[in-house]
Amino acid sequence: MLRDSLRFLYYALSSASPAASPSGCKSLSTLLPDYETPGILPPSARIDRTLKPQGQRPWNLWDMWKYPAFAVGKAACLVRDVVAYNIWGPRRRTWGIQMTIINSLMRDVSRHSALADIAMVRMVMGLAGLVPLPADALVTPITFRVRRRNLRGIIQALDAQETGDRELSGEWIVGKKLWQALQSDHRSTNRHVDEESILVQSTSVDGSTERHCSRVVLYIHGGAYCYSSAAAQRMISIPLSKYTDARVFAINYRLAPETQFPGPLHDVVSAYMRLTDDLQVPSENVVVAGDSAGGGLCLALLLYLRDNDYSMPGGAILFSPWVDLTLSCPSWETNAAYDIVPSPGPDAHLHPVVMYLGDGLQRYLTHPYASPLFGRFEGLPPLLIQCGEAEVLRDEIELLAHKASLAGVYVQHEIYEDAVHVFQSFPFLGLVNAAFASCHDFVSFKLSELQDSSPKLLGDVCEARLGDDIDNDNVRVVRGDGMETCTGRRGVQEHMSHESRDGNDYESELIQLDFRSGEGLGACCDLLSADVGGVVAPSGLRRIKSTLPALVVRQPLVTKINGPYPYSRAPPRLGKTHSYPSITSFVDQFTLSSNDRIMTP
């Protein structure tokens, strides 16, 4: 009893915000009306619409003492949390020492934002490139010119300014196994035929059906619209290519504050049009994916394409999407002590929303292309939405899933126990493999089930152009530790040929590990709806197959045991819900904002 009391007292004092009581929780049906009308802020909005962009603060010599003070304070916080972890257990039930350290370093860092500027933050975030990457993949950096496409809607004026001189960059990511299969297919056809000859040939080639039905993923990185890059998010894009067996094109859109809304949306639309128009990838074969702010841009892209009668992609995968720039949902407070995302400060300095919207803050704050939660979702393709139970965006993501399901959109919403924002980028977490395996099932089975004509056969012109874009002298093999082992088409082919002879298939070992008995999904994923009838998908992931009312989690995702936190770690669990257009949404099934559990009324 004494140990329980001390433990409860420690975490209560060290948390940035107290857990919300059940009586303070609001149901989804109560919160959803606040996001029905663009232009009207929810009553709980945490942003001042009068904030204006600020220039870089002048550096003061007398501020030098604040840097060592910040370092000492963080070191003391880290030591305290590590000691508490070893004495009283983790702050969250399933956290290990790695997650404890990361949370300790990131917690309350926004209070010291005055010590940094945008360049310093980008430099620090760029250190993510030093983190060891997943097993080897092939990466091809590319640069392409943005041409005028006579685009409609909100970006019409930006499109009219294009002269064909501006360039955007990105990179293709292809898993080794897929690259070898594509090379085998290329060798089985005459790759030296010019495009005019290809156009008069039959689009069906014997023995190449599997190649021609492949998917292409347009990946949009996160970073609060101000930071990060496609290369920095390879921790997600490389496994995404391997698990979905798809070629991934990651785009580097222009960042704020240098480029403000709707500039980044224009870049994303240009990248999508390049795939569908220039490379002739059928829109049904394209899956858009993104994390955090990139997830918000994914939804903005879908809404823009629908509103302006452009062809829609086959589906979307959203990792912790940021969909409400008003910061109005309760989890911004209730999960602030656990997530790695720092809450923006009260002023405009380094405030991502102010930097992204600039002088258009009042005009665009609730615009559906900036805050997609305020949009209408009718006509959108199927959505796979993954989020962490302990992240500050959890509530707005749940609102997004429920609002989309009300609009008749197929939604597969997954909440991962104790996971933080974009947890898929932390490979040491056991749930990461389960999350990417779910992406595999969604792309390989669910999309095909929902859309009979998806994916379409890729034409030979499309394959030739994709091959020229990916398999050229810029291609390089990126090793698991982030080092480039070889570059150039010839060097890569020799490397892959040598590895094939040695029988080293790291990718197959990685994927097979997830589905072995007692490992991967079986060990790290306890679906709470186990009492509901289900069917085992070909990958081994237990997929719920029932009517929606029966799919709702009937018990807490995390159950209190002798206080707010258990003593030791336990395998994390996954709460999964599905919606179908013909079934009433699960809008009234959940209440929000309990730190240690998801409650049912």
Going by their DSSP bridges, the two strands 542-544 and 534-536 should be labelled as antiparallel
CA distances from 310 to 143, 154, 282, 302 (A): 24, 14, 12, 9
Asked if residues 582 and 592 have their Cβ atoms less than 8 Å apart, the reply is no
Residues contacting 562, CB < 8 A, separation 6+: 4
Asked if residues 287 and 248 have their Cβ atoms less than 8 Å apart, the reply is no
Note the maximum CA span of the chain.
Answer: 81
Q: Confirm whether 214 is a catalytic residue.
A: no
Token pair for residue 350?
């380094």
Distance CA 400, CA 306 (A): 17
Choose among 487, 412, 479, 423: nearest CA to 446.
412
Q: Confirm whether 453 is a catalytic residue.
A: no
Token pair for residue 530?
């186990």
- Helices 66-88 & 97-106 angle (0-180, nearest 10): 150
Asked if residues 573 and 413 have their Cβ atoms less than 8 Å apart, the reply is no
Choose among 287, 242, 239: nearest CA to 446.
287
Token pair for residue 484?
């480039």
Token pair for residue 456?
């379409």
Q: Confirm whether 292 is a catalytic residue.
A: yes
Distance CA 440, CA 508 (A): 14
Q: Of these residues, 171, 284, 391, 507, which one is catalytic? A: 391
* DSSP character at residue 546: S
Q: Give the other-Cβ count within 10 Å of 50's Cβ.
A: 8
Distance CA 342, CA 335 (A): 11
Q: Give the other-Cβ count within 10 Å of 265's Cβ.
A: 22
Q: Of these residues, 292, 320, 454, 593, which one is catalytic? A: 292
Q: Of these residues, 266, 351, 421, 440, which one is catalytic? A: 421
Q: Which residues are catalytic?
A: 292, 391, 421
